[in-house]
Chains A and B, each alone.
Chain A
Amino acid sequence: DAGVTQSPTHLIKTRGQQVTLRCSPKSGHDTVSWYQQALGQGPQFIFQYYEEEERQRGNFPDRFSGHQFPNYSSELNVNALLLGDSALYLCASSLSQGFYEQYFGPGTRLTVT
């Protein structure tokens, strides 16, 4: 039973560039959430996708956008990268019904120079 997978593992980008991060949820899960974790901090919620629509959004600017595909996988896009976007980006998947646990992937470490 495959868990949550994310790609790439590490990424280095330059200010102003755009980046796309990918996530495949745990088998059977239909909901994907994205979190940003700055160094030494707790994760901050970016947004959540269910049935290919953004269902809930945290306090992040429109530069952060996402998508969910029919197979429940998801992408996180960040435009016009800032140095402050450097962080670990975590994807979590869950079931829309039943137990409320969110399973996390290993994360993508984004460095903006």
Chain B
Amino acid sequence: AQKITQTQPGMFVQEKEAVTLDCTYDTSDQSYGLFWYKQPSSGEMIFLIYQGSYDEQNATEGRYSLNFQKARKSANLVISASQLGDSAMYFCAMRDLANAGGTSYGKLTFGQGTILTVHP
């Protein structure tokens, strides 16, 4: 069974500074995907960044980067130059990359989340 652990219930950062949100995972699968989602108070899950288990380079998307350390089973999210609008709940998630009949499927397993608060 897959498991995602986010050990930081809450994090605070000053505007314009960088912040790292921790995520560790556990799986026996060789092929999997790691995701980070942002959930504002409105409730909608917003996709931020994706890392495949076989990707050798760390993923980057604008101000977001994923620090992927496969041997340590960690996939930390780094947000550079924090903005007030970054204040939200952040979830790390894993998806097993099952395949059948030429199609892919697989549920997302989420961590408990980290509430990020950006101070002006």
- List, in ascending order, chain A residues with CB within 8 A of B37's CB: 104
B105 engages A102 (CB within 8 Å): no
Q: Which of B35, B45, B91, B95 has the most CB of A within 10 A?
A: B45
Which single member of B44, B47, B98 contacts A105 (CB below 8 Å)? B44
A92 touches B45 (CB 8 A): yes
Interface size range of chain B in the complex = 20 to 34
List, in ascending order, chain B residues with CB within 8 A of A50's CB: 103, 105
User: CA A48 – CA B106 in complex, angstroms?
Assistant: 8
Residues of B near A48 (CB, < 8 A) are 105, 107
Interface-facing stretch out of B64-72, B73-81, B109-117: B109-117
Complex formed: what's the CA distance from A107 to B109 in Å?
18
- Whether B120 sits at the interface, judged by CB under 8 Å, is no
Q: Is the interface of B mostly helix, strand, loop or mixed?
A: strand
Complex Cα spacing A18 to B35, Å? 33
Encode A30-48 as 1/0 by CB contact (under 8 A) with B.
Answer: 0101010000011111001
Assembled-state Cα–Cα distance A31/B101 (Å): 14
| Binary flags per residue of A45-69, CB closer than 8 Å to B gives 1, else 0 | 1001010000110100000000000
Q: Which of A58, A88, A96, A99 contacts B105 (CB 8 A)?
A: A96
Question: Contact at A42–B43, with CB atoms within 8 Å?
Answer: no
Tell me the smallest distance from the CB of B55 to a CB of chain A, in Å.
12
- Contact A56-B44, Cβ < 8 Å, known A42-B110, A42-B113: no
CA distance in complex: A35, B107 (Å): 9
A109 touches B112 (CB 8 A): no
Within 8 A of A (CB), among B9-59: 33, 35, 37, 42-47, 50
Please list the 7 inter-chain residue pairs (A to B) with the smallest Cβ-Cβ separation, ordered nearest first. Answer: A42-B110, A104-B45, A96-B103, A45-B107, A106-B44, A107-B43, A100-B33
**22 residue pairs A–B, Cβ–Cβ below 8 Å:** A31-B105, A33-B107, A35-B108, A41-B112, A41-B113, A43-B110, A44-B110, A55-B105, A56-B107, A90-B45, A92-B108, A97-B102, A98-B104, A99-B50, A100-B97, A101-B35, A102-B95, A103-B47, A104-B44, A104-B45, A106-B42, A107-B43
Chain A residues in the interface with B (C-beta under 8 A): 31, 33, 35, 41-45, 48, 50, 55-56, 58, 88, 90, 92, 96-107, 109
